[in-house]
């Protein structure tokens, strides 16, 4: 049956048969040429970049941070006081920023020693290589932000052959959880933050950095230490929560439009 094209008094006068057939052919042609997208497709948001944390996200956590913090701060009592002041967590880099130069230099030497020991045991996180290959196949850009040193980032690139650009270490100031490094990466890519997702294993560093920048956020919680997703405070609650990098595949495909997009000249220059 042909659709009613006219309503009211004019509807009583039917179109001639040739006209009706032409209208029907036109409607069928439009329907077959441009089918309406499914509701799920319409709701998916474009994703053009993924920014990763390194330690504990792209690499298996090997640094004993609690032991490092105790040595830097001067023992169990000082460490407990710092935890209490930080609401249960310690931002060691923030703690030592205001120290005297000699004390600060010693603290950085301790941190560097622990990080060096960690580099000797550096291991890639299961699923990291496959995830990067998947993103490359979709022409989705990959960046990295870490509070570790540049030497650690360079070794990571060399050892595992996985390149991230830009890859920002703690030499870039201000570092996470300030949004500056993530905003810098978005600017370099010429991609708005709302088309980027930050993936990391720290609520206070990675998720807060992403939220402040206006990006999507995904918390990697391998051990379940943060509890159920719905139980997290709103100010640090990520958009997504996974227990492994392999779950990121499904999360991205179910929630984002991953159709390859043409790269702008500015973003193409920094792609590796």
Task: Provide the token pair at 20.
Answer: 């009706």
218-224: which pairs have CB atoms within 8 A and are 24 or more residues apart?
218/242, 218/248, 218/251, 220/56, 220/57, 220/244, 220/245
Per annotation, catalytic residue among 53, 205, 206, 221: 53
- Judged on CB neighbours under 10 Å (0-12, 13-18, 19+), 226 is middle
Report the distance separating Cα 111 and Cα 90, nearest Å. 14
Q: Is 55 tagged catalytic?
A: yes
Instruction: Give the residue among 247, 256, 263 at the shortest CA–CA distance from 130.
Output: 247
Task: Provide the token pair at 244.
Answer: 């492994």
Q: Is 230 tagged catalytic?
A: no
Judge if the upstream peptide bond of residue 212 is cis by omega within 30 degrees of 0: no
Report the distance separating Cα 43 and Cα 52, nearest Å. 25
Strand partners, 219: 200, 241
From residue 128, give the alpha-carbon distance in Å to each of 159, 166, 210, 245, 249.
Answer: 14, 17, 20, 6, 11
Per annotation, catalytic residue among 55, 201, 205, 206: 55
Q: Which residues are catalytically annotated? A: 53, 55
């Amino acid at each position: 049956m042909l659709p009613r094209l006219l309503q009211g008094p004019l509807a009583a006068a039917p179109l001639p048969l040739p006209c009706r057939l032409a209208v029907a052919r036109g409607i069928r042609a439009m329907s077959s040429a441009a089918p309406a997208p499914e509701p799920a497709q319409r709701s998916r948001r474009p994703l053009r970049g993924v920014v990763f944390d390194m330690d504990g996200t792209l690499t298996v956590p090997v640094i004993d941070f609690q032991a490092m913090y105790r040595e830097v701060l001067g023992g169990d009592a000082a460490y407990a006081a710092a935890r209490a002041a930080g609401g249960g967590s310690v931002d060691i880099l923030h703690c030592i920023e205001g120290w005297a130069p000699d004390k600060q230099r010693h603290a950085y030497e301790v941190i560097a020693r622990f990080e060096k020991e960690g580099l000797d045991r550096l291991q890639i996180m299961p699923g990291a290589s496959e995830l990067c290959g998947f993103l490359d196949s979709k022409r989705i850009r990959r960046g990295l932000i870490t509070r570790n040193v540049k030497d650690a980032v360079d070794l990571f690139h060399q050892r595992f052959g996985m390149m991230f650009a830009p890859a920002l270490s703690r030499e870039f100031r201000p570092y996470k959880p300030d949004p500056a490094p993530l905003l810098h990466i978005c600017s370099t890519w010429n991609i708005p933050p709302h088309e980027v997702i930050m993936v990391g294993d720290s609520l206070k560093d990675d998720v807060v950095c992403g939220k402040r920048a206006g990006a999507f956020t995904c918390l990697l919680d391998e051990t379940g230490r943060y509890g159920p997703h719905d139980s997290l405070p709103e100010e640090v609650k990520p958009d997504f929560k996974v227990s492994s990098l392999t779950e990121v595949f499904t999360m991205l495909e179910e929630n984002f439009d991953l159709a390859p997009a043409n790269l702008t000249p500015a973003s193409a220059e920094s792609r590796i």
